[in-house]
Amino acid sequence: MITITTTDGLDAFCKRAAKAPYVTVDTEFLRERTYYAKLCLVQLAVPGEAEEDAVLVDPLAKGLSLDPLYRLFKNKQVVKVFHAARQDLEIFYVEGGVIPAPLFDTQVAAMVCGFGEQVGYETLVRKIARSSLDKSSRFTDWSRRPLTEAQKTYAQADVTHLRQIYEHLAGELDKSGRRDWVEEELGILSDPSTYVIEPHEAWKRVKTRTSSGKFLSIVKELARFREGYAQSKNVPRSRVMKDDALLELASTKPASVKDLSRSRLLLREARRGEVAEGILAAIKTGVETPAKDQPKPDRSRDKLQVNPALADLLRVLLKAKSEKLGVAQKLIATSSELDEIAAGLREGAALKGWRRKAFGEDALKLCEGKLALRANGSSVEVFEV
């Protein structure tokens, strides 16, 4: 088992990989104690059975630069294959400012190929590679050195089986003519904005049922401070304050350190020093925000006049289409998107791209009374009226 610890060694492998049709990629990282993931290991493999066709790269090795890998990621002639790529891609974008292209995500492809929703790597290894994984090293500390043989074996399996899985799924997509479906789905993963969290937008991720403009203004300012502080100090946002504490502060509106000390939910470390100062300043800004500048919750769905009977019929149609196509239902349309269609909206994702051909066009016909459904044993038939 080869572990690369030098830039020259990585460069040599990447030059070999540049001649291959694809390279499989995975990472091991830690994120419990930091805002940004700490990259601890990179696993790479190219087609072949030789020992040098699958390697581990130690980014913690002194003097090692990942630049050769980033050059490979930019090579348009080599497909970069991941499974459930989002966190891996975020790491590479933050670390190196690069998103691998062309990209292939076997989790997305598996949903298109009928393996269900959010299918796990272990399931694909079992069903496609006809093998199993030793999960004993799954939750180990990947930052500790030296790595054990068990850790190395576990890590390498994440890219060696992935070769067979990729080849199988790519073949299935070519047979079904659905490769463009996967490419359309990968558009979000390939968009750099997916991996950037702007502090002034962080409040939208805080769940609250309160619609008061003043309350939301304080939430917005507290979330902005928390996100910015967490990013600058590279600490988890929960180490600054958790959501329940943030909402408590937005409700009680403490104006002094003494007031902060009365909080039931705020961490002790956040009741003094620069965190306390930042919290109090954020609350003050939120309280003083003019009404015209206060954030407004998205209440557009509250006004939807959903036809419940039509929504139920759309769910039956979706199930029938999903079973016929062998594609996960949630990949085609979400429950909220079905409600939007039943309410007369025509801008949702289910009515665009490959989804429109697979489901959306028939969904619109059903809404217009041009399509009907009927039971046939345990299945549902779709026919034009």
Q: Does domain 2-195 have CATH number 1.10.630.10?
A: no
Q: Cβ–Cβ contacts within 10 Å for residue 2, how many?
A: 14
Give the dihedral of Cα atoms 175, 176, 177, 183; nearest 10 deg: -100
Predicted confidence (pLDDT) at residue 16 exceeds the cutoff of 90 = yes
pLDDT band at 166 (very low <50, low <70, confident <90, very high): very high
Predicted confidence (pLDDT) at residue 54 exceeds the cutoff of 70 = yes
213-233 and 243-252 helices, crossing angle to 10°: 140
pLDDT band at 135 (very low <50, low <70, confident <90, very high): confident
- In this predicted structure, what is the pLDDT of residue 300? 61
What are the structure tokens assigned to 357, written together?
């051909």
Kindly give, in sequence order, each residue whose CB lies less than 8 Å from that of residue 210, ignoring residues fewer than 6 positions away. Answer: 216
pLDDT digits (tens, 9 = 90+) for 271-297: 999 999 999 999 999 999 999 999 987
In the DSSP assignment, the letter for residue 264 is S
| Concatenated DSSP letters of 22-77 | EEEEEEEEE-TT-SS-EEEEEEEE-SSSSGGGEEEE-TTSTT---HHHHHHHH-TT
* Coil, strand or helix at 81: strand
Percent of the chain exceeding pLDDT 70 equals 98
- In this predicted structure, what is the pLDDT of residue 301? 62
Give me the chain's average pLDDT, please. Answer: 94
For range 121-131, the mean pLDDT: 95
Q: Residue 280 to residues 159, 208, 218, 220, 228: CA-CA distances in angstroms?
A: 48, 21, 10, 13, 15
Instruction: Report whether 32 contacts 236 (CB < 8 A).
Output: yes
pLDDT digits (tens, 9 = 90+) for 74-104: 999 999 999 999 999 999 999 999 999 999 9
Percent of the chain exceeding pLDDT 90 equals 89
pLDDT band at 377 (very low <50, low <70, confident <90, very high): confident
Predicted confidence (pLDDT) at residue 120 exceeds the cutoff of 80 = yes
Query: What is the rounded distance in angstroms from the CA atom of residue 339 to the CA atom of residue 335?
Result: 6
243-252 and 273-287 helices, crossing angle to 10°: 50
* Coil, strand or helix at 101: coil
Instruction: Report whether 270 contacts 257 (CB < 8 A).
Output: no
- In this predicted structure, what is the pLDDT of residue 209? 86
- In this predicted structure, what is the pLDDT of residue 158? 95
Phi, psi of 79 (to 5 degrees): -75, 130
pLDDT digits (tens, 9 = 90+) for 320-367: 999 999 998 989 999 999 999 999 999 999 999 999 999 999 999 999
What are the structure tokens assigned to 135, written together?
């999960």
Predicted confidence (pLDDT) at residue 69 exceeds the cutoff of 90 = yes
- In this predicted structure, what is the pLDDT of residue 302? 62
Name the residue with higher pLDDT: 85 or 116: 85
Instruction: Report whether 86 contacts 31 (CB < 8 A).
Output: no
pLDDT band at 298 (very low <50, low <70, confident <90, very high): low
In the DSSP assignment, the letter for residue 383 is E
Kindly give, in sequence order, each residue whose CB lies less than 8 Å from that of residue 276, ignoring residues fewer than 6 positions away. Answer: 257, 260, 270
For range 354-381, the mean pLDDT: 93
Q: Where are the alpha helices (DSSP H) in 132-201?
A: 149-176, 179-189
The domain limits of the chain are 2-195, 199-293, 301-384
Query: What is the rounded distance in angstroms from the CA atom of residue 218 to the CA atom of residue 338?
Result: 34
Instruction: Report whether 325 contacts 108 (CB < 8 A).
Output: no
pLDDT digits (tens, 9 = 90+) for 192-221: 999 999 999 999 999 998 889 999 999 999
Q: Where are the alpha helices (DSSP H) in 201-307?
A: 213-233, 237-240, 243-252, 257-260, 273-287
Reduced DSSP (H G I as helix, E B as strand, rest coil) percent helix, strand, coil of the chain, to 5: 55, 10, 35
Q: Does domain 199-293 have CATH number 2.40.50.140?
A: no
Read off the pTM: 0.90
Kindly give, in sequence order, each residue whose CB lies less than 8 Å from that of residue 273, ignoring residues fewer than 6 positions away. Answer: none
